[in-house]
Structures are given as structure tokens and as C-alpha cells.
Structure 1
Amino acid sequence: MSKIPLSNDAAEIDHLRRAYTLMFVSYIAAAIIFVYGIRHIYDQQTLLAVILISSALAFLLNIVVFHLTGRIDRACLVQSVLVSMFVLVLVYQGGYHNTALYWVYPFPIIQFALLGARRGALLNLSLTLLLALFLKFPEWTIAKYRPEETSRFISSMLTVICVGWISEYFRARSHHKMTALQRDQQTLAYTDSLTGLLNRRYIDVDLPAQLLDNPDDYFPMTVVMLDIDHFKEVNDSFGHDAGDGVLRAVSQLLRTGTRAEDLVARYGGEEFIFFMPHTQLNDGLKRAESLRQQLAQHAFALGSVARHITASFGVATCHSPSNLKSTIQMADKNLYEAKRAGRNCVR
């Protein structure tokens, strides 16, 4: 319940990397292939022109579907299959004056960028195996390649694949480690060191962005603020270590007394705040009352005796991200109404 829904900037960057690779193949590479296809119509190389133009149109169709659906994984997989088919057909036909082999070298790097290290390696090695069979059995292809040309091509392809795999594998590992480091730093920045709950910084900085990005996950959302009654007397009578123990015990009660999706934070001093997604005001009041009763019934070990400690609660409901600040202010106002009403109550 005090788990931080961390922002995922690293994942967004990786998504953009794949999307830009996909768009490069779909737009830039397709445009180049299309231009060569048109040119070969005038050269009366009909089969080569059909291969180039149809491949370019297939690449463009895939990117259009991606823009309509936003499904990056499917689009990258489809593009990789289209690229592989284009390479196979081009090598089968031979290209312009049997130059098809020269056009194959960039595509393993593209496959790694689209699919990642493991799937990219599987597809690249499978494609290279098929190409090796084409070149091993010349009768399978229209093009006629020289034996010394084919052996050097396969060796070069395997080299490109190995270098591409190493690059993609360690890029991915670096990406995961940086993501983990970012999460650790963000968790540390947004965690109260005494209680282990979220802190005021998270409420002020990160929560508003989370609400804006995913409003359907939160609203309507009830905000509850509570303040431990007469907490100064605990510090004065039993010392600050005892007061810290009370704060940790209250934090644990809030953890166990709220739902997994609720966000619980220490707002400052002896004041706490928690957010209950998809909760209307009446339900929020009932849950706050239940927590008030649990807290009032709990015996805190202070010195050699057990004492009961109470808290006052203020409740308000938020319906949109723009109302978060005013809702917190309303919950705080209701909290002080509870204090003026005699404490140990919910308002």
C-alpha cells in the first residue's frame, strides 16, 4: 500500500528507440527501395521492380497499422518478418547485376534493434542458414554467385551478427541496470526514513504526474489526513525515541488497515495522509472510522506501561488531478475540525 508507482522513463526511452527504428525502416528504407523499384521499371527489370516496390509498400502498410493500434511489439515482429522475406527474395533474384548480397549487411543490426538480443539472434541465424542454403545450391536461385563470393559473404554475415548480438546484449543489460538504479534512487527519495512510508516529496512531486498519466486508475479518490492526538506529551514524558516508536507503530497499523492499492504517506511530524483510489466520500469516512477505532484500541508500549493513543481524521474526496491540492487542503481543514470537536473523531 506504500509501494511507489514509479515513473518508467527508461522503458519509455526504449519504446522510442524501437519505434524510431521501426519508422526508419518503414519510411526511409522503404522510400529508398521504392525509388530503386521505379528506376528498375525503366530498366525493364520487372521482377526486381516488383520485389522492391511490393516490399516498400508492405513496410509502409505495417507502420500505418502501428500508428492506428500503437502495438509496438507486434509491429516490430511483423517488420522483422517482412525484412527477412525481402532479403530472401532479393538474394533469390540477385538484385541489380547480382549485387543483392551487398544490401543484406545492414539488416541484422535492424533485426536486433527491433527484436532484442535473443529473438534477433534466432531470426538472424535462421535467415543466414537459409541464405547459406541458397548459395550452396545455385540451382535454387535465379542469381548466379561466384563460390568465393558466397563463402566470404557468409563469414561476413556471421561476423556482423556476432558483433550485433554483443552490442544489443550489453546495451540491454546496461538498460536494465540503469532502470534498477533509477528505481532505487527514486524509492529512496520518496521514502520516509523513520516509518518506511511514502513521504511529503512524493505527494508534492510524483503523485500529481501519476494522476495525470493514469486518471482511470485513481478517480474518484478519497484523501484522509490524520494527526496523532497529544503527541507532544508522548515526547515530553517518554522521550523522542519512544515517540519514534509510536510513529513506527502507527505506520504499521496504517499499512495493515488499508488496501493494497491505497497510498500511505507520512506527511510531516505526527501527521499522516493516505489516498484511497476508486473510493467515494461515504466509503472513505467509514474506512477512516474503522482505522480510528483500531488505533484507539491498540496498546502502545511506553516505558514500563501500555498506553492508548488516539488520532483525529479529516476526509475529503477528489474527482480529478486538477483538484488534488484543494482536496488535500479540504482534508486538512476537516482534520482541524476534528481537533476542535474534541479529537479522536472523523470529520
Structure 2
Amino acid sequence: MDHSSVRQLLRNSQQDEAETKRRRLTLYFISYVGGTIMAFMAWLNYGGGDTLLVGSLAASAAVVYANVALSHAFPRNDTFYYIAGLIVVFTVNALVYTGGLNNTGLYFIFPLIFIQIIVVRFKPAIVYVSVTLGIAIALLFNQELIVAEYPPEHVSRFLIATLCFICVAFIGENFWHQSRKEMLKENLERMRQANTDPLTKLPNRRFLDAVFFDRAMEDPVSYFPLSAVVVDIDHFKKINDTYGHDVGDDVLIHFTQLMKECVRNTDVVARTGGEEFLILFPHATLSQAVKLAEKIRENVEANPFIQGDINHPITASFGVATALTDSNINAALKQADDKLYVAKKNGRNRVVE
């Protein structure tokens, strides 16, 4: 997993928590309140002879309730937000077509259109509102095709007021989104610093515990079997003692680059200690992880650290284990750590599974 992928994972983790909750609660509130109002209006008009208006309101209320019920059952599915937008398209133009009670249906258009703006995502909302208003304008200027009758002065004032309202609403939403984006950007940078090792620029233990493992457990199909490789540079203390800690830091950066050359885009290389690293291979069996670890070991051994008159060979030891499900991640990490100890005990510069 490269640096941009880590940033994207952090960004998604940050955005999902706040934005998803906001949109979901907004959908729930608007659906229950709006569905109840439409059902109440259908009841008020029942028996008044306008069966088309009553039927439209009742159908809209029923679909709204069904949509919000399904959204409770499948809270991670965005489809229900767009269905809510389509319900608004139908309800708005049903009111325009029938005229509502005594041709007062136009008064209810403003809150309905605002629902589209705040429930549907910003750019799709522009399309939804444009379609809704476009159909309404076509009906208003072809009144011979509809049941309602609107005086020309009512139509012109309604359209002017609606366009002004839509412009102000979208401007407000746009500024809100822009300010939120700036705040997210600042928070993302803080998260990146907190979740990244400053020397190697690799993810750290905090990133693994707070972001990666949580995401893996939320979506196990995309990650398991998950293989873990614990890596430790052999005799690193000797490098620091011989050349100094500045050179030791350069060795860590060199070693990091060698590991990253051998992993896949979906893999995670993290620094978990001084000279200790953890590599995570999503969707990799134990045998596949052993082959990848061996590839890294060979690459490290074949590329000594060279700087000025320093030409120091580097080797590393590897412990490999695999978690088949999200319930045994900790056990797999402990097993990989134990295997690393075996590799160290048996002579270093080897992969033990």
C-alpha cells in the first residue's frame, strides 16, 4: 500500500464517520416527518373528490416509509438517498399537475426541493433539482395537459421565487461543503502525522490498530485470509554502534525502500518498533506470504547499504503467520512474532512459517 493509498484509507475513515451519520440521520428525520405530513394531507383531502391528489400523496407517503424502513435494514447502502430524491421528483410534479387543494400545491414545492439538496450528494442534487424543475416548468407552460389551473402571474412569481430559493440553497450548501472540506483537510493532515512514522513515512502501530484492522473487520471478504510477516533487521544495534544513529536512520530508510519494492499495492508495510516492521498481505495464503517474504529477504541481502565509504551488508529475519478470519488476527500476530524469534534463534537471515 503506497503513501497515497494510506492517505485515502485515512480520508475514508475520517469522512465515513461524520458524513455518513449526518446523511443517514437527515434521511430518517425527513422521511418520517415528510411521510407523516403527506399521509396527513392525503387524509385531509380524502372525500373531497380529488382522487388523483389523494392517491399521489398516499403513494408518496407509502414509498417514503418503505424507503426509510429499508434504509434501516441496509444502513450502508446509498441507494435510499437517491430513491428519496426520486420520490421528491414525483411528489413535486404530482402537486404541480393536480394543483393540490384549491391550487395551493405550489406552496409545498420549496421544502420538497430543499430535501433533494440536503439528502442527495451535492453534484447529483444539481441534476435532481434540474430535472424536477424542468418537468414542473414544462407542466406550468402547458396547462392544457394538466388538471390544475394557475394564473400567469402566479406562475411567473413562483418560478422567480423558486429559482432564487434554489440559488441561495445551493450557494449555502456549497460554502458549507467547502468549509467542511477545509476542516477535513486539516484533520486529515493531523491524522496522517499521528498514523505515520516520521522517519520512514510508513504507517505506524496506531494506524494498524485504529484504521487498518478496523476496516478489515468491517469488510472481512476484502481482506481475509490476511497474512502477517513480522520483520526484524539483523544486528541493527551493531550498525548504530559502528556508524552512529544518523547512519542507522539512513539504513532504516534504505531497508524500507527494499521492502516496498517487493510488495503489492494492496499490501501494508508498517514500522512497529526501532528496527522491527510488520507487513500485512490481504488475501494471501500462508504459502503466498512465505514466497513474498522470501522475495523481500533476497532483495535485502542482495542490496547492501552503500553511503560514502560505507558498504555494509544487511540481512533480516522474518516470522510468518496467517489469520483466516477476523477473529484470529491477534493470534496470528502473536504467532508471527514467535516465528520471528525462532528465525533469530536459528541463525537469522531466514523466513520461518
Shorter-chain TM range is: 0.7 to 0.9
Is the Cα–Cα contact under 8 Å of residues 10 and 175 in structure 1 kept in the other structure?
no
Is the Cα–Cα contact under 8 Å of residues 238 and 303 in structure 1 kept in the other structure?
no
* Residue identity matched to 1:257: C
In the TM superposition, 1:158-197 aligns within 5 A as: 158-197=163-202
* Residue identity matched to 1:262: D
Instruction: From 318, 321, 334, give the equivalent of 2:323.
Output: 318
2:294 matches 1:264: no
* 1:44-79 deviation line (CA, Å, top 9, x unaligned): 443332232233234334445656666855433333
Q: Tell me which residue corresponds to 2:19.
A: 14
TM-score under structure 1 length normalisation: 0.88
Matched residue count:
347
Distance 1:38 1:87 in 2: 18
Distance 1:280 1:308 in 2: 31
In the TM superposition, 1:13-32 aligns within 5 A as: 13-32=18-37
In the TM superposition, 1:42-61 aligns within 5 A as: 42-61=47-66
Distance 2:350 2:128 in 1: 65
Once the two structures are TM-superposed, the CA of residue 263 in structure 1 deviates from its matched residue by 0.9
Q: Tell me which residue corresponds to 2:117.
A: 112
* Residue identity matched to 2:351: V
Distance 1:222 1:121 in 2: 45
Q: Tell me which residue corresponds to 2:213.
A: 208
Change (3 A) 1:119 1:314: closer
TM-score under structure 2 length normalisation: 0.87
Is the Cα–Cα contact under 8 Å of residues 116 and 168 in structure 1 kept in the other structure?
no
Distance 1:143 1:9 in 2: 49
Q: Tell me which residue corresponds to 2:304.
A: 299
Of all paired residues, the percent bearing the same amino acid is: 36
2:105 matches 1:100: yes
Change (3 A) 1:271 1:136: closer
Once the two structures are TM-superposed, the CA of residue 186 in structure 1 deviates from its matched residue by 2.0
- Out of 335-344 and 254-263, give the one that drifted further: 335-344
Is the Cα–Cα contact under 8 Å of residues 108 and 164 in structure 1 kept in the other structure?
no
Change (3 A) 1:188 1:152: same
Distance 1:273 1:41 in 2: 68
Is the Cα–Cα contact under 8 Å of residues 238 and 302 in structure 1 kept in the other structure?
no
Which sections of structure 1, spanning at least 5 residues, go unmatched?
none
* 1:296-337 deviation line (CA, Å, top 9, x unaligned): 221212551422122222222222333222322222222222
Change (3 A) 1:26 1:287: same
Distance 1:127 1:326 in 2: 56
- Out of 337-346 and 10-19, give the one that drifted further: 10-19
Once the two structures are TM-superposed, the CA of residue 137 in structure 1 deviates from its matched residue by 5.5
In the TM superposition, 1:329-340 aligns within 5 A as: 329-340=334-345
Look up the SS of the partner of 2:306 in the other structure: strand
* Residue identity matched to 1:28: V
Distance 1:83 1:135 in 2: 17
Distance 1:204 1:16 in 2: 22
